[in-house]
Each structure stands twice: as C-alpha cells, then as structure tokens.
Chain A
Amino acid sequence: MALGAALTAIFTLAAMISVVWVPYDTSVLTIANRTLPPSLAHPLGTDHFGRDLLSMLMAGARTSIAVALVAVGIGIGAGVPLGLAAAARHGGWLDEIIMRGNDLIFAFPSLVIAILITAVFGPSAFNAILAIGIFNIPVFARVARGGALPLWTLDYIMAARVAGKGRGLISVQHILPNIASLLIVQATIQFSLGILAEAALSYIGLGAQPPTPSWGRMLADAQTLIYSEPQLAILPGLAIVGMVLGLNLLGDGLRDALDPRLRRVRG
C-alpha cells in the first residue's frame, strides 16, 4: 500500500506541477532537437519532434488523471444516488428498472460504445471522459446498492425510520457514511481502469487530440520508432504501468485497511 500510495503521489504531483509549469512547452516543435539522448537540459531526452520527453510525460499525466478523475466523478455522481435509491426501494419497480438499466449498460462492450460516442460526436478528451464515465455509473450503482442493502435490515436504520425519517434522508445520513469505504476502494479501481481506457482511446486516436499530450498518443506516435528510438515507446508505457499499478496497490491496501472484517480474517 505504501508503494501504491507513493507511485500514485509521484504521478499526481507531476500532473499538478505540469498545470503551472513544465520544463519545456509541449506545443513547440523543434525539429533540430529531435530524438536527443538524455542530457542535463533534457533529463529523458526529446521525441521525434524535438519535444522534451519529461515535459510530455508530465503533461500526459495531467491529461490521463484529469480524464479518469472526471469519469470517476460522473460514475459516483450518478451511480451512487441510483444505487442508494434502488436499495431504499429494494424489490420495488424503481429497483428493478435501475438494475435492468445497469445490466443493459454492462451488456455493451465498453470500448465499442466509447468508439461509437466518439464516432458520433467527434474524437476529443471530453468525449472520452463521457464514454468512460457512462460505464462507471452502473459500477458505482451496483456497489452502492450492494453495500446499502444489508444496512437496511439493521436496527439503527429501523430506529431512524421509527423516528420518522424518510428513506432519502436515511440514505444520505446513515447509509452513505457506512458505505463510504466501499466507494473509496471502488473509486481507486475505476480510476486505474479509467487511466487504461483513456490510454487505449488516445492510442487509437479517439481520445485527447494533438497538441494535448497524452500517454496513449505518445505510444501511438512511437510505434514505428520502437526499434530505432525504443525509449519513446517504453517510457510512456512505464508511466501508464506505474500509475495503474500504484492505484491498484493503493486500492488493495485501502480495502484491507478500511474493512475490519477482512483484517480479522487475515490477522
């Protein structure tokens, strides 16, 4: 978990710094400086357009994190209320409709729909966010519903109902805080999946468009250069692996730390 947190922190920090400062402007092409080896001026060298690789990776981290973060936000924002509502009306028509709708979204191969969305509205980082975000909704709805259902049978919820609180208020005041740990763990998982999805979409040219740097795009550009300039194909890939690995380890660690039941079993 410490390793995961450290990896995540490094990339997040790099992304945050890149918002205010990158070593070199990533939209300026200096062909004379192309594919320079690492040096003091360019710690990781330059790419085939003479752009500083470190700057590209930092700005790429920003794109990836921003896309994945907003996509998770969409998932939580729409999915959690739906899941809570389904659990509050368990067995009712609302529950049935929400869960059937969920199944339906799950039936679509996610990337196929992402591709459809970008086909209809044109490729952009915004549409990539939308496409990834839509698939986060049923995930969070399911987790929220699954976590909330057993809580509804507990005495303190019954007490709250006897006290005259409505189902909506109970969901927000009593259920939500108790499923927060579940949601946090799921959020880290979806975050890492979002990073992978963004990379894949950008790689096939349906995500962030140039000149916005993104790891997937950098890999696509480097594909034909993999033998002559392997570092161009390896570094962005390592960045993706590092970020995703960090998030996954962090998620596992958080799950163990936040779930007392699991801790007892392990201990």
Chain B
Amino acid sequence: MTLFPAPARTSSVAAMMHMILLRLLSMTLSLLVASVVIFVMLQAVPGDPAAFMLGLNAQPDTVAALRTELGLEGGLIQRYVAWVGGMVTGDFGTSYTYRVPVAGLVADRIVVSGPLAAYALILTLVIAIPAGVLAASHRGRVSDWGVMGFTQLGIAVPNFWFAMLLVAFFAIYLGWFSAGGFPGWSTPVQAIKALTLPAIALALPQASILARVLRGALIDTLNQDYIRTARAKGLSRRATVIRHALRNAAIPVLTILGLQFSFLLAGAIIIENVFFLPGLGRLIFQGITQRDLIVVQSVTMLLVFAVIAVTFAVEIAYTLADPRLRRRSAT
C-alpha cells in the first residue's frame, strides 16, 4: 500500500532502496502526525503549570517569568514548533516538578527500561522458540498439548498479577530476590537480579503468544514439499526443522516480535510500578500524577518514536530475510 508503485523493471537493489525511502517518508509522516496528536491532547489539560508550581501566593510577574522559562509563552503553533525542534536536537524541555532538563531524566531512566526490555525480549525468545519448535514437531502429542495449554494460560494471566505472585513466592517466601527497587548499575549482578522477576513477568505473556505463532508457522512450513525432499535426502528431523523450517517461519515471528515491542513498552509501565523500578514507565506515570505534563509529552513522543522505528526496522529485516519481498514493494 505505498503511495507510489515501485518503478517497473529496476534491479532488486534499486527497488529496495525505493522501498526503504518510501518507508522512511511514511515513518516521518507518522511521527509528525503523532507529535501533533500528543501536543494537542496535552494542551487540553486545564491549569497553568507555572502557577501550580509557585503556589497560591505567587506574584504575577514571577509566574510570567517562570512561564517564559518553561516555554509556555507564545501561540500554540510557536510552542509546538519549539517543542518539536527541541525534541529533534535532544532538548526535551524542562521538567515542571524537578526543574531539570527532561532529557537528563530520560537518560537516568532509560538505563533501567532499556535493559529491562532487552532482558524480557531475550527471555521471550529463549522460552518461545524451543516451546514452539517442540509443539510443532510433536504435533498432536502430549508435549504439543502441554505447550498449547500452558501458552493459553500464559496469555490469560495479567502480567502485573503474575508479577505479584512472583514477588510473593521468590522474594517474600524464598527470599531469593528483592521485592522491588533498583540498586543501580554500579553493582551489575545486583542490578540484573533486580530486573529478573520483572523481566520474567513481562516475558511470559509475550512468549506464550510467540510460541503459538511459531508453532502455527512451523506447521505450515513443515507441510511443504521441500521439507519432504529434505527428509527424503536423509536429513534428520532435527536438522530439517532447524535448517529449513525455522528460517521460513521467521517472517511471521519477526512480525509478531515487532508488534510485541509496543506491548513490551506498555507492559513495562505497569511492571515498573509493581516493582518500583525507576524506569521510563514510572517516569511517565509520576509525570501524570504530578501534572508534570512536559515530561509526559516528551516521554510519550519518545516511546512512539521507538515503536515506529522498530516497526521500520522489522520491515527492512524481512525484506532482507525474504528475497521474494524485495521485488515487490512492501504491502
């Protein structure tokens, strides 16, 4: 569904460049629209942050000075342009409550949220790939039923509740982990330990979904003729799955992984709250409760950027993974 069809009869490299350019264009457009939506939405919030910060007895000129300092003066369009211009150059504005640059707050928090998301993603793959392969290659047998039943449950369990149960069992009952908080990266082992339960809580539903998708995709590919050929030429079952089927099942898996990134971010907001982790999710949440709207605005924009960028990367990844897609411009 591109606006312009790819030029006919060009080399596959040129077609691919064309596709990447179009995707970049559409990505920029999405970001622009998203920024307008977020900006306009937050303009609807009642109240003047400057007056709110200075309290009831503030002098009008002090309030006016603070408004200027926070970039609240000027027309709507002027402020929007200033905000977007700032975001592009890494200036995310000044937090109303902390009076420090939002970029600094984000930098402090991203060292928690980033590793947490990566950890959860790794766990998701580590759980989902073997489970999906096991279920698909033993289709209809006990292990398949087991994986399907377990993943059905994994999808139905709210991750924050699962997190609470993990805390109750592993942190309070067994005492293996701390129940919450983050010690900082100066003690890497402790830091990773603090992220382990949250990462498990985040990974379980995602792994359940991914395992089911992988099973479905693998079953589809395992029914293909070339798999029979591979088996007929004497390749073992295991080698066939690993060398031939998995590679072809990669496309749906990549798609789902890309979509899951967005769920992972959303889930992290909740999970960071369960474990009192000082991450981006908690920052957004605190921004809301403290009416620190510039924090909410800039961090939301950043998250949307992350999701759009990942979607873009996934699309590029599957054109690389699947030569057939290179000739067509992406759908």
Partner-B contacts on A (CB < 8 A): 95-96, 99-100, 103-104, 106-113, 115-120, 192, 196, 199-200, 203-204, 216, 219, 223, 226-227, 230, 233-234, 237, 240-241, 244-245, 248-249
- Given contact pairs A104-B33, A107-B34, A245-B153, A237 touches B158 in the complex (Cβ within 8 A): yes
Range, interface on chain B: 35 or more
- Complex Cα distance, B29 from A249, in Å, reads 39
Flag whether B288 is at the interface (Cβ < 8 A): yes
Query: Which among B55-63, B80-88, B119-127, B302-310 touches the partner chain?
Result: B302-310
Q: List 11 A-B contacts (CB under 8 A).
A: A100-B26, A107-B34, A111-B266, A115-B284, A116-B300, A200-B270, A203-B160, A219-B158, A219-B161, A226-B164, A227-B172
Closest approach, in angstroms, between the C-beta of B216 and any C-beta of chain A?
Answer: 12
Flag whether B168 is at the interface (Cβ < 8 A): yes
Query: Which among B40-48, B65-73, B99-107, B228-236 touches the partner chain?
Result: B40-48
- B residues 238-292 with Cβ under 8 Å of A? 262-263, 265-267, 269-270, 273-274, 284-285, 288
Closest approach, in angstroms, between the C-beta of B303 and any C-beta of chain A?
Answer: 5
- Complex Cα distance, B284 from A108, in Å, reads 15
Flag whether B311 is at the interface (Cβ < 8 A): yes
Are B157 and A109 in touch, CB under 8 angstroms? no
Are A107 and B155 in touch, CB under 8 angstroms? no
Residue of A nearest to B2 (CB): A96
- Complex Cα distance, B311 from A112, in Å, reads 17
- Complex Cα distance, B40 from A116, in Å, reads 12
Interface of A is mostly: helix
Chain A hits for B159, CB < 8 A: 200
- Complex Cα distance, B266 from A96, in Å, reads 28
Q: Point out the residue from A112, A192, A204 that lies within 8 Å of B303, measured CB to CB.
A: A112
Interface of B is mostly: helix
- Given contact pairs A200-B270, A226-B164, A226-B172, A108 touches B156 in the complex (Cβ within 8 A): no
Flag whether B189 is at the interface (Cβ < 8 A): no
Are A104 and B160 in touch, CB under 8 angstroms? no
Are B156 and A112 in touch, CB under 8 angstroms? no
Are B156 and A248 in touch, CB under 8 angstroms? yes
Residue of A nearest to B162 (CB): A237
Residue of B nearest to A220 (CB): B160
Closest approach, in angstroms, between the C-beta of A99 and any C-beta of chain B?
Answer: 6
Chain B hits for A240, CB < 8 A: 156-158, 161
Residue of B nearest to A236 (CB): B161
Q: Point out the residue from A107, A116, A192, A200 that lies within 8 Å of B307, measured CB to CB.
A: A107
Flag whether B142 is at the interface (Cβ < 8 A): no
Q: Mark B17-39, 1 if CB is under 8 A from A, else 0.
A: 00000000010011001100010
- Given contact pairs A107-B304, A116-B300, A204-B273, A192 touches B172 in the complex (Cβ within 8 A): no
Flag whether B210 is at the interface (Cβ < 8 A): no
Would you list the 8 A-B pairs with minimal beta carbon distance, nearest first? A111-B266, A244-B156, A237-B161, A245-B156, A119-B288, A109-B266, A109-B265, A226-B168
Are B153 and A200 in touch, CB under 8 angstroms? no
Flag whether B152 is at the interface (Cβ < 8 A): yes
Are A103 and B262 in touch, CB under 8 angstroms? no
- Given contact pairs A109-B262, A240-B158, A115 touches B285 in the complex (Cβ within 8 A): yes
Flag whether B165 is at the interface (Cβ < 8 A): yes
Are B1 and A96 in touch, CB under 8 angstroms? yes
Chain A hits for B1, CB < 8 A: 95-96, 99
Residue of A nearest to B293 (CB): A119
Residue of B nearest to A7 (CB): B156
Residue of B nearest to A91 (CB): B1
Chain B hits for A237, CB < 8 A: 157-158, 161, 164-165
Q: Point out the residue from A113, A204, A216 that lies within 8 Å of B285, measured CB to CB.
A: A204
